Amino acid sequence: MLTLNNREKIADTFGQSCLSYDKNARLQRYSGNLLCQFLNQLPSLQSPTQKSLLDLGCGTGYFTQKLAAKNFKDITALDLSSQMIAFAKQRDYAGDVPTWVRGDAHALPLASNTKDIIFSNLVLQWTQPLSVALSEAYRVLKPGGYLVFSTLIDGTLDELKQAWARVDNDKHVIDYLTHNQVEHAWQSSGFTEVFSHCERVELPYPNVNHLARELKHLGASLVKDKRHKGLTGKDKWQKMSHYYREIDRAQATTPLSNGHIQASYMLYTACLMKKEN
């Protein structure tokens, strides 16, 4: 379980990366655009000017800006990182400026039954237990409202996890929930499924150092249960890089040339509905 203190440390890590976040957020762009496509498919959103929306975990405001251009009635942009909110506020927004709220997904500072849509892009993997955050989203949604979200599940960065496992028995990669655990969490929170999708996304990198650097810039390098803190020795890093290339050659569905490697992300996206009264 991630305590509030743990979640605030993660938020601080993301906040410190706000200046470099957008140029490294390839996966976030891909998943967020999928969620926007989900919104376009909802028949009840043909008139967004009548709908209120919460951007849960707004980050740098990249998708907040896109959502604002859709002319929702009002948008609340919430993040646990005050640095991210400060950065997001600097963007230009079409229509009304979003309402900015610093808050925790485990205890949303919003009234019940007040939002038509909750949009959450690659945030909920940082909420443990996930069921608490989902129950809060359910509370805040109006009956008949929708939660559209993406998260990462087990199998993400599996090449990196396997490579480190050949070097030592420490924990170097974050553990993610399984597909079944995520579905159980939203079912137990009361949601019904409109549609969901799971896919393996492979992103190319020049080398393992580049992968590690991108993860750091995205603020995603914090491993809570790591036993040996601090920098990893050069010898261990070289061994891990060697094993990574071996594993990548054996597992990649589309092998790359020029010595590049790939990293796998298991992306789960869903559109859920709060039941009508």
Q: What is the CATH number of the domain that holds 180?
A: 3.40.50.150
Each residue's pLDDT tens digit, 11-57? 555 545 555 566 678 999 999 999 999 998 887 776 677 899 999 99
Is residue 217 a part of any domain in this protein? no
Is residue 212 a part of any domain in this protein? no
The rounded distance, in Å, linking the Cα atoms of 89 and 75 is 13
Is residue 90 a part of any domain in this protein? yes
Is residue 24 a part of any domain in this protein? yes
**Whether the Cβ atoms of residue 142 and residue 171 lie closer than 8 Å to each other:** no
Is residue 240 a part of any domain in this protein? no
**Whether the Cβ atoms of residue 124 and residue 151 lie closer than 8 Å to each other:** yes
* Residue 147 CB neighbours (<10 A): 26
Amino acid at 41: Q
3-state SS class at 262? strand
Is residue 249 a part of any domain in this protein? no
Least confident interval from 37-46, 123-132, 159-168, 256-265: 37-46
Each residue's pLDDT tens digit, 194-246? 999 999 999 999 999 999 888 876 655 555 555 555 446 789 999 999 999 99
> Helix (H) and strand (E) counts for the chain?
10, 7
Is residue 252 a part of any domain in this protein? no
Is residue 181 a part of any domain in this protein? yes
Residue range of the domain that includes 34: 4-156+174-205+266-273
Q: Which helix (H) or strand (E) holds 190?
A: none
Domain tally, the chain: 1
Helices (H), the chain: 4-16, 18-24, 26-41, 62-68, 82-88, 130-140, 158-165, 179-188, 208-217, 234-251
pTM: 0.88
| Long-range own/partner contacts, residues 40-49 (CB < 8 A, 24 or more apart) | 41/271, 42/146, 42/194, 42/271, 44/144, 44/146, 45/117, 48/72, 48/73, 49/73
